[in-house]
Structure 1
Amino acid sequence: MHLRLFALLLIFNISTFAQKKTYSIVQYGALADGKTNNTTAIQKAIDEAEKNGGGIVIVPAGDFVTGVLHLKSNVVLNLALNARLMATTKRSDYGGKKASALIVGNNVHHISITGKGTIDGQAKPLLEDIYRMLNAGTLEDAEWKEYNDWHQMRPAEHNRPHLIDLISCQNIVVKNITIRDGLCWIQDYRGCSDIVIDSITVESNTFLNNDGIDITDSKNVRITNCAVNVADDGICLKSSDASSGCENIYIANCKLRSSASGFKMGTASRGYFKNVKVRNLEIYDTFRSAIAIETVDGGNIENIDIRNVVARNTGNAIFIRLGKRRENVAPGYLRGVYISDVKVEVPAGKPDAGYSWDGPEVRYPHNVFPSSITGIPGHPVEDVTLNNIEIIYEGGALAKRAAFGIDSLEQVPEKIRDYPEFSMFGELPAWGFYTRHAVGITMNNIKLSSQNSDFRTAVIFDDVKKLNMKNVEIGKTESKPVILLNKVSDSSLHKIKTHSPTKDDIRYQ
């Protein structure tokens, strides 16, 4: 279904709800004292609305504590201005071995979460209760004693509740609400279709794995006008089902901050990602990549169109990776990617320093990492076009910190089975762009600059076929050569402007 028509149909569905009966949770015994557990009262209101053919469940202004709630078909959960739906801080309220999400919908349709109110995960006191149970031995967690990242024990993800989980649902609207302070993924839409997420705010830097918006194996999705500030990926598309995937996705006019990546597809990538459009993103203070496109679990990526992205103070601009993590599963393919009108500023320091949960320190000396497009031997990334891209690096590379000569390109590790991220290869011999194992790379109107001296080659292509570069400008550099083409065939380079004082600007080898 065309996304515009789909959006109009959802607007019609919302308007029909306005004619339905309202059910205030207060009428069912809910108390706004910030202490009483109101799960039973709120669930009664939801069930009654569903029983009568649908309606609007009203959470009025006030602080309402709740445990796990199950949404039902044809029901709107509306949080009034100054309403706060507060997650219970007792881990036992979320179930046993696997924590339920706070708000759950399973195989229901025409559901909405709307209003100007807030869903508050109360992460800190809930985490304290999880620690108490783990230390007392009353909560099972095989990973508890193994994790010590960030100098703190990390309960496994299955022991930390999401705030919203919608599974196999259709016709979903989430609009205007604020969601804050979760302990794991904030919201996951899994195996769903026909989703509108509009004008929501997500604020959660309270613990690890705090993805802002996760779309998993879902179709016909529209995410617009959202503000996300989280400790993990901002907006992330995932695929856990090899027979399914993410399809017909539109994301626009969002502001993202992350201690991982701003916009990402992968890392979970068993199925496919196709027909994805992204427009008008503002990304800031982001530890990893502004744009990350990854398939490493056998999934396929194609027909991706990303335009108008401005990122400041982010660890990496563009990261595109085809890998193979699963031993008995063949690599998928990654092809048909168009990225245009992007401006990124990459600092030399840690972009998310000072946030309560920042990304992990890279555990070896390194210089500023370049953007990259990388496949693996025999499985190249295909047909990537970069148009109107400007990346400004702070630079300041030091050979005594880390150095990798261009005469040793074969020593750059493949890391075929590794977790994909911009620093995965270690120190790279390029400061601007590094491309390896690719076919059909087009770079048009590209500008790369380093504000401080960098001894490395600006751009490297290694094992690349069908390379087309036009109107590429590289700022002042001391590198020699400025552009290196190693094992490159069928290349076309026009209007390449460098500011190198040497004549050895472009070298083939």
Structure 2
Amino acid sequence: MNNSKIIFRNCLILLFLLQFSINQEIYAQKKKEYLVTSFGAVADGKTVNTKAIQKAIDAAYKNKGGKVIFSKGKYLSGSLILKDNVELYLEEGAVLLGSINPDDYPKYQEIRALIIAYQSKNIAVNGKGIIDGQGRELALAIDSLHHTGVRIDPKYNYRRMRPEDGRGKLISFVKCDSIVMTHITLKNSPGWVNCFTDCRNIVVDSMKVESRAYWNNDGIDVNGCENVRITNCNVNTADDGICLKSEVPGLENNNIYIANCIIRSSANAVKFGTGSYGSFKNVTIENITVFDTFRSAIAIESVDGAEIENIKVSNVTAVNTGNAILIRLGHRNGDKPGYIKNVSIKNVKAQIPFGRPDIDYDLRGPEVDYFHNPFPASIAGIPGHSIENVILENIEIIYPGRASKGMAYHPLSRLKDVKENIKGYPEFTMFGELPSWGFYVRHVNGIEMKNIKLILDKEDFRPAFVFDDVKKLAMKEINVPSDKINQIVFKDVISDNLDSESLKRKTEPEQNKFELPVN
């Protein structure tokens, strides 16, 4: 066959392939389905498909919306920009792999992530496939580039020997409206996994998050959003599991529902904060299972001026978890402290271990740097700014005991010396050694505790409850170990209502209330 015939044949083949591709695209546009392979994506896990996938997204967007489909295979990509009325759909067996080249993640509207949406409406990420950011590999590549001088990170953390800049998130949606994410699996982010900032009308259901690749691997972050529903999710992360944030003043969280989720974390399971500049209002959290979690099952924190109110938490089971409940009003930033009021926490069962609960994580939470006994749950405001109107009902917590005065000792005669730590990072360990083993409550105006059962695995020399600067306290049906006396300690408590008859103890009722002199 001569050269002219070969050239003619190849031209026919190319023409056929081009026409086939055009026909596929026309057919896809009619059905509003866009296979990324029809736009040149190669599912070999090696070819960088950023341009091809973005071309499919853009085609769907220009055709007033559609479904961009990833069929079975591995698709390597850098940053993708999701646009109005476009759904990313990963079929079972499809994997979207994040590139490990930091140059593949340029900022878009100051956002760095694998999947980005900015001011988009009616967007979705669905399907039984996987989005894998290869976050550890990316972070280590960034680390290497910094140390070789190729790409200097001005924010490099030399104490922890980890890069700060350039890692980005797995998914970041900013100022978006009407978002749906269902059944998708998110893995191995270089930073926060799935972050919604200043968004409205979000539905997340049956999503799995498995991200222990590096530090700052928050699972689901809701940062100043309204009308949010997160249900039936399974979250396992090397930082906070589901976290409500308000990173800058003006970001308001309102009308949020979180339910039927399973969470494992080397930090907190469900957390408000730490960034807490705006507000958190009308939040319902229910039917949550927590296990092997380093910090708190439920942490509600306002330390940057945030207004937190109308919070309902119920039906929480936490096993092998560092702390059951933390409610903290502090004043780290802002012109004045915020407030926390109208918080109801009901039907909680928790088991606190003696050792660290995240020991099986390869990326464990940072232990405190001082000797201490096991910590109680804490509800603490600051002088002049009390937490208001808290209801705790049907709470059962098993504590490890084994406290020793040789390890640490804070005598009851020196309750005034418990650190206020007004500007401190909010955590249940932030006050240092505490004088109780069950609950430590300070600077609270209005708290009702009903049907509270505290159990010790081993002996603890401290009392179960310490109340300091508390007004309008009501306690009913309090169940503490029967062989202990002086289990409830009051200092500067006004208008207490302690139902001695319902205190389930073998000792005399008057022994349960131990008044400290006012200093």
1:87 is aligned to 2:87: no
TM-score (norm 2): 0.91
> In structure 1, what is the Cα distance between the partners aligned to 2:507 and 2:374?
20
Task: Give the superposition deviation at 1:18.
Answer: 13
Q: Give the root-mean-square deviation of aligned CA atoms.
A: 1.7
Matched position secondary structure for 1:404: coil
Whether contact under 8 Å (1:99, 1:159) holds in the other structure is no
Change (3 A) 1:18 1:398: farther
Number of aligned residues: 486
1:375 is aligned to 2:381: yes
1:155 is aligned to 2:167: no
Q: Could you tell me which residue of structure 1 aligns to residue 432 of structure 2?
A: 426
> In structure 2, what is the Cα distance between the partners aligned to 1:477 and 1:269?
42
1:114 is aligned to 2:122: no
255, 259, 263: which one pairs with 1:248? Answer: 255
50, 54, 58: which one pairs with 2:65? Answer: 54
> In structure 2, what is the Cα distance between the partners aligned to 1:21 and 1:144?
45
Instruction: Read off the aligned partner of 2:136 and give its amino acid letter.
Output: K
> In structure 1, what is the Cα distance between the partners aligned to 2:508 and 2:436?
18
Task: Give the superposition deviation at 1:127.
Answer: 2.1
Instruction: Read off the aligned partner of 1:62 and give its amino acid letter.
Output: G
Task: Give the superposition deviation at 1:376.
Answer: 0.1
Task: Give the superposition deviation at 1:111.
Answer: 0.2
1:26 is aligned to 2:52: no
Q: Could you tell me which residue of structure 1 aligns to residue 446 of structure 2?
A: 440
Q: Could you tell me which residue of structure 2 aligns to residue 281 of structure 1?
A: 288
In the TM superposition, 1:55-204 aligns within 5 A as 55-95=66-106, 100-148=112-160, 153-156=161-164, 158-204=165-211
CA offsets, 1:206-226, max 9 Å, x none?
A: 111100000000000000000
Change (3 A) 1:178 1:19: farther
> In structure 2, what is the Cα distance between the partners aligned to 1:140 and 1:100?
17
Task: Give the superposition deviation at 1:234.
Answer: 0.4
> In structure 1, what is the Cα distance between the partners aligned to 2:200 and 2:309?
19
Q: Could you tell me which residue of structure 1 aligns to residue 487 of structure 2?
A: 482
Whether contact under 8 Å (1:198, 1:226) holds in the other structure is yes
Task: Give the superposition deviation at 1:142.
Answer: 2.8
Change (3 A) 1:56 1:404: same
Instruction: Read off the aligned partner of 2:225 and give its amino acid letter.
Output: S
In the TM superposition, 1:383-462 aligns within 5 A as 383-462=389-468
Instruction: Read off the aligned partner of 1:121 and give its amino acid letter.
Output: G
Whether contact under 8 Å (2:29, 2:63) holds in the other structure is no
CA offsets, 1:464-484, max 9 Å, x none?
A: 000011111112454x52100
Deviates more, 1:93-102 or 1:118-127: 93-102
Whether contact under 8 Å (1:474, 1:499) holds in the other structure is no
> In structure 1, what is the Cα distance between the partners aligned to 2:180 and 2:75?
22
Whether contact under 8 Å (2:503, 2:509) holds in the other structure is no
Change (3 A) 1:266 1:253: same
Q: Could you tell me which residue of structure 2 aligns to residue 308 of structure 1?
A: 315
State the structure with more CA Rg.
Answer: 2
> In structure 2, what is the Cα distance between the partners aligned to 1:232 and 1:362?
16
> In structure 2, what is the Cα distance between the partners aligned to 1:96 and 1:290?
34
Q: Could you tell me which residue of structure 1 aligns to residue 472 of structure 2?
A: 466
> In structure 2, what is the Cα distance between the partners aligned to 1:300 and 1:37?
45
TM-score (norm 1): 0.93
> In structure 1, what is the Cα distance between the partners aligned to 2:340 and 2:107?
39
> In structure 1, what is the Cα distance between the partners aligned to 2:426 and 2:43?
45
> In structure 2, what is the Cα distance between the partners aligned to 1:31 and 1:321?
51
> In structure 2, what is the Cα distance between the partners aligned to 1:119 and 1:19?
27
Task: Give the superposition deviation at 1:136.
Answer: 1.7
Instruction: Read off the aligned partner of 1:276 and give its amino acid letter.
Output: V
Instruction: Read off the aligned partner of 2:362 and give its amino acid letter.
Output: S
Matched position secondary structure for 1:498: coil
Change (3 A) 1:384 1:134: same
Task: Give the superposition deviation at 1:91.
Answer: 1.1
> In structure 2, what is the Cα distance between the partners aligned to 1:107 and 1:402?
53
- Identity of counterpart residues, as a percentage? 48
Q: Could you tell me which residue of structure 2 aligns to residue 238 of structure 1?
A: 245
The answer for unaligned runs of 5 or more in structure 1 is 1-16
Matched position secondary structure for 2:452: strand
Matched position secondary structure for 2:88: strand
Matched position secondary structure for 1:409: helix
CA offsets, 1:203-246, max 9 Å, x none?
A: 01111110000000000000000000001000000012322311
Q: Could you tell me which residue of structure 1 aligns to residue 372 of structure 2?
A: 366
CA offsets, 1:345-379, max 9 Å, x none?
A: 00110000021111112211111100010000000
Task: Give the superposition deviation at 1:503.
Answer: 6.0
